[in-house]
Structures are given as C-alpha cells and as structure tokens.
Amino acid sequence: MTLQTKLPKVGTTIFTVMSQLAVEHKAVNLGQGFPDFAVPNRLIEALDRAMRDGHNQYAPMTGIPALRQAIATKTERCYGHRPDADTEVTVASGASEAIFDAIAAVVRPGDEVIVLDPCYDCYEPAIDLAGGRAVHVPLDPATFAPDWGLVRAAITDKTRLLMINSPHNPSGAMFDSDDIEQLTALLRGTGILLLSDEVYEHIVFDGRIHESVLRHPELRERAFVISSFGKTYHCTGWKVGYCIAPPALSAELRKVHQYNTFCTFAPAQWAFAEMIEAEPEHYEQLGAFYQAKRDRFREQLLTTRLKPLPVPGGYFQLVDYSAVSDLDDAAFCRWLTIEKGVAAIPLSPFYETPPQGQRLARLCFAKNEATLDAAIERLQKL
C-alpha cells in the first residue's frame, strides 16, 4: 500500500538530529534549547506536594482555576492588562500545543498564513495540516528586523493569520515600539488575526522592554498570545504553556484543545500556580540571570574564530562562522559536532529559502558554566 503523506516536507526535526549526533559523538550539546541547570527548589517542592496531596487526575480542560488566576495576575503585573481567567486564559501542553490549537481553530482550507523567516519549525506543519498555506516573508538577513512593506505586500484577500515571534528564535531579535506601531497600522481595518509567540518574554536584556501584544489593546483584541512555563522556569520537559486570547478566539481554541490533549499535567499546574504567586521575583529577575550568561559566553566566544552577533533577548547566540569555514550551515554544524565536539543548530531549517551565502549557526547559552566552558575550550581550537 502506498501512503500519501499529509506532511511531505517534514522529516525528523533538526533539533532531534543534532542532539542524536551530539550523543553519538560525545559532543557538548549547545544545539537543542534546553537548560542543563536546576529547576527552582520551590517549584520542585510544590510539584511533590501536589502529587502527595492527590492532584493526580484530570485537570479541568482549560486549566486549574488557581493557575489561570495566577496567569491573569502575572499578566496584569507585567503588561498592565488583566485577562479574564475564565474566558481568556487556556493552559496547554506546552506552547507548541497552543500554537497548533490556535492555527487549527481558525485556519481553513485555502487560507494563507504569513510567517516571518527564519521561523520556528512547528509553524508550517500546523498550517499545512489545517489546509492553509504558509506565506514566507523574510526578515532582514543581518538584523532579523521585519520589513513591514514586504509584509504588507504579502497580504491578499486569502490572508487569515499573521504569526510573529519576539524575542525571536533563532536570532534573539526583538520588536520595538515602532514595529508595534507599524504592525497595528498594518492590521487596522482588516479581519486578519494575529498569533504572537512570546515564549521568551522574560529573557530580555540591556534594559529593553518586551513589547508584548498584551500591552496594546488594538492588537490583543485579534490575537492569540502564547507563552511557555518551560522557558521561564527551566523545565522544558514538563511541557506546560498557555494561551491568552479574547473570549471568542479562546472559545475556538478550546474546541481544538479539548480533543487534542483535553488537559495538561495536573500536578505541574498546581506547582506553577504556587510558584507564580509566591515568587514573582523569579520571572522578574530572569533577564538579569540570563544576561550574565550571555555576556560571559560572548566574552569567551571573542577568544575563538566565531563572531557573535548581538542578542537582545532569548537564550540563543548566533555566530558567524565564515572565518572558519565556507561550508553551508547544515554541513558546518555536522562537521562541528563530529570533528570538534560541539553541537550547534544551522539556520537553514528555519527558512523556506535561506539567504545565499549565509554562514550562521545557533548556540544555546542556557547552560551551566561548566558546559559552556567545555564548549569554549573546544571552539578555541577551530
């Protein structure tokens, strides 16, 4: 029997490929974006307590009330807007599930969805499965800033959704107030919806402000805003995220969510509810925590032949490797892993059409000092 695939362009993700290669060759893994340091003690203790207290059965489909209230309080504290915990906050099994649910909820066969390249690799498969078509608009290849003229030119009468991501993966670039003004003007008077991927919202450096869509009434009334506890609390393996959206959009997202995962790991929800309320300083100080890592790692990279690019936010460092090799990025990252013992991620899988001659790789600095030091020792030999 011949099976016709629904995702002909999809294979094993580059993150899985490079992590497996790192294991096989005993490389320092700066590829896949996960921390290798401890989860906050309070969160571990709260999770243990939740399980021992019997919170081990299905959670409510939208998330336990205490967590939804905590998210609403945190959102108001951070962005000056308090979403309705009952009608506008939905807990999901990771930001990836929330992204999938949002796309499946509103994208219909024949619809177009604008994505800004390079973009995270889960976007387009979700669009394809919904019967839509991803329209790729390139960011500036040097600064990764959006060209709003190009975005405007990509809009047609079939455009259903625009997807944005700030702080940006893989580059760390961030929207500023001018971007928000241009985005608002672009969408004003249209029926185009917005999906804002804000999973790195608290990992912001150098006094910058995260321009969350939730700060801006005209945008948030048409937006799914998605975040991740895994990124904020160093526990990517727990796979808990959430979506904030107006009641009508939340209702549609929940129709998909209830038949996708239905609910999310219950003990973790109780733990996050306690952590958010009891220790807000964790997310308030997260930028400073990671900025110290960024700065130290950047100083170390300057002792190698790799050129680090600016990183306004997130926990990834792009490096220009053109002084080391003229290999394309996929071949270079494979060579770097196998021959030099450091795993990185190439940028080309984040693009529909990678820029010609681009020689950039992504390194993750969400690691302890010993891991980063071991990687630097090997990179100094390039």
82-120 pLDDT, tens digit per residue, is 999 999 999 999 999 999 999 999 999 999 999 999 999
Give 85's DSSP letter: T
d(CA 177, CA 153): 21
338's CB contacts (< 8 A; 6+ apart) are 21, 25, 27
**324 token code pair:** 């080391």
- Position 14 scores a pLDDT of 87
- Position 1 scores a pLDDT of 76
Query: Measuring CA to CA, which residue among 367, 334, 365, 371 is closest to residue 349?
Result: 334
235-271 pLDDT, tens digit per residue, is 999 999 999 999 999 999 999 999 999 999 999 999 9
158-202 pLDDT, tens digit per residue, is 999 999 999 999 999 999 999 999 999 999 999 999 999 999 999
Q: What share of residues in the chain are helix, strand, coil (percent, to 5)?
A: 40, 15, 40
Residues in the chain: 382
Sorting pLDDT into bands at 50, 70 and 90, what band is 205?
very high
Query: Measuring CA to CA, which residue among 359, 363, 354, 286 is closest to residue 318?
Result: 363
**Which structural domains are found in the chain, ordered by start?**
14-39+284-379 (3.90.1150.10), 41-282 (3.40.640.10)
- Position 4 scores a pLDDT of 85
Does pLDDT of 357 surpass 90? yes
- Cross-strand partners of 116: 137
- Position 22 scores a pLDDT of 87
The region that residue 216 occupies, defined by phi over 0 for left and psi between -120 and 50 for alpha, beta otherwise, is beta
Q: Per-residue pLDDT averaged across 126-153, rounded?
A: 98
CB 118, CB 170: distance < 8 Å:
yes
Handedness of CA 292, 295, 298, 303 (dihedral sign): negative
CB 183, CB 148: distance < 8 Å:
yes
Describe the crossing of helices 329-340 and 14-24 by its angle, rounded to 10 degrees: 20
Alpha helix positions (H), the chain:
14-24, 41-52, 65-79, 95-106, 123-129, 148-154, 177-187, 217-220, 229-232, 247-260, 266-278, 281-284, 286-301, 329-340, 369-379
d(CA 312, CA 146): 15
d(CA 264, CA 60): 9
Half-sphere exposure in the Cβ direction for 360 (13 Å, CA) = 23
d(CA 53, CA 31): 38
311-327 pLDDT, tens digit per residue, is 999 999 999 999 999 99
